Amino acid sequence: MMNSKEMTISKKSLSIFKLEGIGVLLILLLMLIFLSITSPTFLTGENISNLLLQSVFVMIVAFGTMFVLSMGGIDLSVGSVLGLCGGITGWLMMHGTNAFIAILAGLVLGALVGTFNGFIITRLRISPFLATFAMLYIARGLLFLLTSNEPIRNLASPGFKFLAQGSLLGIPMAVLITVVVFIICHFVFHSTGFGRKVIAVGSNREASHLSGIHTESIKIRVYALSGLLAAVAGILLTSRLTSVQPLMGTSYELDAIAAAVIGGTSMFGGKGNVVGVAGGAIILALVSNGLDLLAVNQFYRLIITGLIIVTAVGAERFTAAKTN
C-alpha cells in the first residue's frame, strides 16, 4: 500500500510525464518526417533495422542510469563497466568456457561492481560523482590489462553470435532482448514498491528515511541494477562485434545520461520514465543515423545532442514549474 506522500509523488510524476511524453514524441515525429523527406533510403527495412540496433546498447545502459538519476545519484562508470563485463565474457569464451557460464560471469561482475559503487557511496560517504568517476578508471584499467597481451577476438560460438546478430521473425534478437529489458524495467520502476521508493528517495532523502525507507539499501540496489544493465549491454555489444577492444563502451555513460535526460528524467532526482528513456535513446540514434545518411560530419552530432539536452532540461524546468 502507498502512503499519502508516495501517492502525491506518483501523481505528480504522472502529470509531468504527460507533458514530457508529448515533447519526446513530437521530436521523434519531426525527425522521422524530416529524414523521410531528405533521405530516400531512410525508411528502408535495412536502415530501420540498423537504426534500432544503434539505439539498443545505449538504451539498456540508460535504463539503469534513469534509476540512478531518479534516486538523486549519478553513475559515470557504466561505460567502463560495459566494456569490462563484455571483455570478461569474451575472454572466458576465448579460453574455452561455456557461453552460458561466460555470460553469467559477465552479469555477476556487473552487479558486483555496481554493488561496490553503492557500498562506498553509502558506507564511506564518498560522493556518487567521485566514487563512480574513480570506478570509471578502475574498470577501464582492468579492461586494458585484460586486452593488453592478447586481443580478444574470434571468440563467439554460433549461439552467442545469435544474441546480437541473429533475428526472430525478421526482428533482430538484440531488439527483442531490449524489449524484454524494457518491460521488466517499466514494471519495476512504475508498478512496484521498489520503484516508488526510488522516486521517494530522489524527491526527499531525509523525509524518506524518516518515513521508514532504508535509503542506503535502496541506493546499493539501484547501483547494482545499473551495473547489471551495463553488463547486459556489454555482453550484447561483444556478441555484435565478436571482439573486445580496450576502448569499448567509451562515452556510453554520457550517451546514457543524455538519453535519460532527453526522455524526461530529472538530473535532480525524483522523476523518471522508462518510455521516455527509450524515446531519448532512439532520438540519439536518429541523429547519428540521419547524419550518416545525409553525409554530414559526425562532429555535428555532438552539437545537435547538446542542443537537444539543453532543450530537454529547459522543458523539464518549465513543466516542473507548471506542476508545482
Domain of residue 312, CATH code: 1.10.3470
**Averaged pLDDT, 3-32:** 55
Q: Are 201 and 268 in contact (CB under 8 A)?
A: no
Cα separation of 250 and 78, whole Å? 9
Note whether residue 1 is domain-resident.
Answer: no
Note whether residue 5 is domain-resident.
Answer: no
Residue 317: pLDDT above 70? Answer: no
Which residues make Cβ contacts (< 8 Å) with residue 324, sequence separation at least 6? none
Domain count for the chain: 1
Cα separation of 324 and 315, whole Å? 14
In terms of average pLDDT, the best of 22-31, 192-201, 285-294 is 192-201
Instruction: Give the model's pLDDT for residue 11.
Output: 45
Residues in the chain: 324
Average pLDDT along the chain: 85
- pLDDT bucket at 306, cuts 50 / 70 / 90: confident
Note whether residue 260 is domain-resident.
Answer: yes
Instruction: Give the model's pLDDT for residue 19.
Output: 43
Cα separation of 263 and 131, whole Å? 25
**Domain containing 274: what range?**
10-319
- Percent of the chain having pLDDT more than 90? 48
Instruction: Give the model's pLDDT for residue 243.
Output: 86
Note whether residue 2 is domain-resident.
Answer: no
Cα separation of 177 and 171, whole Å? 10
Note whether residue 3 is domain-resident.
Answer: no
- pLDDT bucket at 87, cuts 50 / 70 / 90: very high
- pLDDT bucket at 80, cuts 50 / 70 / 90: very high
Cα separation of 83 and 189, whole Å? 26
Instruction: Give the model's pLDDT for residue 316.
Output: 60
Q: What are the residues facing 167 on neighbouring strands?
A: 172
Residue 132: pLDDT above 90? Answer: yes
Q: What are the residues facing 243 on neighbouring strands?
A: 153
Note whether residue 4 is domain-resident.
Answer: no
**Following DSSP, what letter does each residue of 223-271 receive, concatenated?**
HHHHHHHHHHHHHHHHHHHTEE-TTTTTTHHHHHHHHHHHTT--TTSS-
Instruction: Give the model's pLDDT for residue 212.
Output: 80
**Averaged pLDDT, 12-28:** 54
Element (H, E) at 172: strand 171-172
